[in-house]
Amino acid sequence: MAKGQIRQSLSGYYDIFSEGKTYRTRARGNFRKKGQTPLVGDYVEFKADNENEGYVLKILERKNQLVRPPVANVDCAIVVTACIEPDFSSNLLDRQLVMLSENEIVPILYFSKSDLMDETTKERMLPVFDYYSKYYRTVVSEKNMADEELVSALFEEAGNVLVVMGQTGAGKSTLLNRLDPKLKLETGEISKALSRGRHTTRKVSLMDVKGHLIADTPGFSSFELREIEKERLSSLFEDFNEYSPQCRFRGCLHLNEPDCAVKAAVLEGKILESRYENYKLFQKMIQEQKPRYKR
């Protein structure tokens, strides 16, 4: 029995990388009985008589997993956010950041299409870039930025397994093509991928880009907040953590409590108002959700 990492899945086959070799394997039937599906990024135990015939025997414990793209044990996510076309959505960005923080995935923010901004858009977006860059690694796309410069800006201190995510039309495929021209992804491919049926065969693989493993399947990853408890939500906002220790009440939800340091920071312009408005909206969504009971 050997251990390795699944680097590609295709039509029920799993390509496992182990000690410098790749083994093509299938999953044992007992995974289906247990309701388990091996994912790209999984560390597994497997048995193989040769490099073309083997079986996945056990999925080792995951630290996290994403639904779209279906990848496990993700270290970093490059969150592609358009400055314009489509217009910047602070709600979507903050929702993605909350989900990534909950899954202990380090976000790298990539603001695309900055060269298309007019003066009015620049006036609105420049404070956004400045603010988010205080708390997250932030890269703003520049028309004259060389590919090598972009790679080093995104991958500096990045982890081993990365995914690229963001809203449709934000430029995920364009970015992936710049990071690895061999991909030749078509622009607009993501929207086609999202409309595919759930059971349609789809290849997912991790490719080596400058020493990092990056999923070649960009994903949107729409996130529900139902798994997050209302008491935990504020800790997933990096900027809130700077002020919450000064709140009068321990466990302050930063909503109606008196002497709330987070609300004071919003009033003083230290926390972006859009961040706080999104936080309140997420709290409302969490508290209005009906509880789900396990069958």
Annotated binding site for Zn(2+): 247, 252, 254, 260
- Residues contributing to the annotated binding site for GTP: 112-115, 166-174
| 151/210 Cα distance (integer angstroms) | 8
Which run of H or E residues covers position 204?
Answer: strand 204-209
Which tokens sit at 129? Answer: 């870039």
- Residue numbering of the annotated binding site: 112-115, 166-174, 247, 252, 254, 260
Alpha-carbon Rg of the chain, whole angstroms?
21
| 12-46 exposure pattern, b = at least 16 Cβ within 10 A, e = fewer | eebbbbbeeeebbbebbeeeeeeeeebbbbbbbeb
What is the phi/psi pair of residue 276, to 5°? -70, -40
Peptide bond into 107 cis (omega under 30): no
